[in-house]
Amino acid sequence: MADREIITEVLARVEGEGAMDVRIRDGQVQDVQLRIYEPPRFFEAFLRGRRFTEVPDITARICGICPVAYQMSSIAAMEDVCGVGPLHEQIRALRRMLYCGEWVESHALHVFMLHAPDFLGYSSAFEMARDHPGVVESALQLKKAGNALMRVIGGREIHPINVRVGGFYRAPTRAELAPVVEELKVAREFALEAVAFTASLPTPDFEEDYVFLALSDPDVYAIEGGRLVSNTGLDLAPSQYDEHVVEEHVEHSTALHSRLRDGTRYLVGPLARYALNRERLSPVAREAADAAGLQDVCRNPFRSIVVRAVEILYALDEALRLIEAYEPPDPPGVEVLPHAGVGHGWTEAPRGMLWHRYEIDDDGTILDAKIVPPTSQNQGRIEESLHGFVQQHVELDDDELRLRCEQAVRSYDPCISCATHFLRLEIDRG
């Protein structure tokens, strides 16, 4: 079989700047590299020397799509180091509500605007809208409902300003949440249809033997806390993460790769959450998953679009449940006094577990910061998955293989950054 070289200059519908190189020799895949060449952003460096109270506002700027994830993980770490005890249940409920809004808007963006066009043969959501206007219009309303919940609780939709270490600056009233309830109810009706829609999309027959890692809570589908568990027996507190996971620099990426200490690549994100927490979904979300044909564990990355749709439905259902029982906490937050030490925290961002570690002094000045986002954890596992997928389809012609590879990358919804949306793909066959 002749060696070939395929170069794709731009892959749209992926957040950030990167490239992918695939090398094939004599019909065998030799190497796959997901190259991230976007310049480092140095958030960990310029957090040093800042006040501990500033982390929610600074870390939110890492991502315009999932700022709440960065805020909540940073707050969890700071409350850990400062010894903050259990907060009022309604403060915790408000945080979960806010996070549900982010899950809805982020998943809706990926499912309908970035990934669904792949399955239907369109190059963009704009093209898809010509033939499926109802789906795209409803998807935009779905995202709007998530944004509305973030705005009412967080103060604004992007980079919320109402969250702080210890709680919130202000708690919304029930009257302020009432209009959002109607939007969420309408969105939930479409979300039910969306699970069936995504399940009907034609997906490649491809499965992976993943090691899944996700947060888990015995009482709820874990979002804003819990212990880190795996399908291989791990059960960790936030402070134990560094003992079991190592980061490494690779020459072809400005993002670090993660492995378990035994060398195993692992996966975080919707597939992992679903596999490890399925029984804690709300009844309506479990029923929708069953009707969509999802088994207890989904190992096909292309079917992750269905799992994300199920999580949208769950987040809407959960937000409505929390709002129904909501009473504004008074006060909306507690005073937090710093003292020297190290704190750890994590939450489940839409794309997977997000871990923060901070060291502060007695005055509350940050001495050191470490942030491990989900995409950097997944990057090496994505490369392994692509290796197997390309080998399975190596007989395809260059154009078709290119399209399949692009779709495979998007199935993991990598957030390289939230500034640009391009990935170059290069396949070198010799």
Contacts of residue 364, Cβ cutoff 8 Å, sequence gap at least 6: 51, 52, 53, 338
Contacts of residue 86, Cβ cutoff 8 Å, sequence gap at least 6: none
Strands 245-248 and 257-260, by their bridges, are antiparallel
Tell which CATH classification among 1.20.272.10, 1.25.40.10, 3.30.70.2740, 1.10.645.10 matches the domain 52-205+284-293+300-377: 1.10.645.10
Q: Quick check: 181 and 323 in contact, CB under 8 A?
A: yes
The 3-class SS string of the chain reads CCCCEEEEEEECCCEEEEEEEEEEECCEEEEEEEEECCCCCCHHHHHCCCEHHHHHHHHHHHCCCCHHHHHHHHHHHHHHHCCCCCCCHHHHHHHHHHHHHHHHHHHHHHHHHHHHHHHHCCCCHHHHHHHCHHHHHHHHHHHHHHHHHHHHHHCCCCCCCCEECCEECCCCCHHHHHHHHHHHHHHHHHHHHHHHHHHCCCCCCCCCCCCEEEEECCCCCCCCCCEEEECCCCEECHHHHHHHEEEECCCCECCCEEEECCCCCCECCHHHHHHHHHHHCCHHHHHHHHHCCCCCCCCCHHHHHHHHHHHHHHHHHHHHHHHHCCCCCCCCECCCCCCCEEEEEEEEECCEEEEEEEEECCCCEEEEEEEECHHHHHHHHHHHHHHHHHHHCCCCCHHHHHHHHHHHHHHCCCECCCCCEEEEEEEECC
Question: Nearest 5°: phi and psi at 229?
Answer: -125, 165
Strands 421-428 and 16-25, by their bridges, are parallel
Q: Quick check: 350 and 99 in contact, CB under 8 A?
A: no
Q: pTM for this one?
A: 0.91
Q: What's the pLDDT at 418?
A: 32
Contacts of residue 45, Cβ cutoff 8 Å, sequence gap at least 6: none
Q: What's the pLDDT at 10?
A: 46
Q: Quick check: 213 and 268 in contact, CB under 8 A?
A: yes
Distance, in Å, from the CA atom of 228 to the CA atom of 100, rounded to the nearest integer, reads 20
Q: How many CB atoms lie within 10 A of CB 127?
A: 13
Q: What tokens were used for 429?
A: 């066959």
* pLDDT-flagged residues of the chain (< 70): 1-20, 33-41, 251-255, 416-430
Q: What's the pLDDT at 248?
A: 80
Q: What tokens were used for 65?
A: 């799509």
Strands 163-164 and 28-35, by their bridges, are unpaired
Question: Nearest 5°: phi and psi at 51?
Answer: -75, 150
Domain residues of the chain, as ranges?
Answer: 52-205+284-293+300-377
Residue type, 414: P
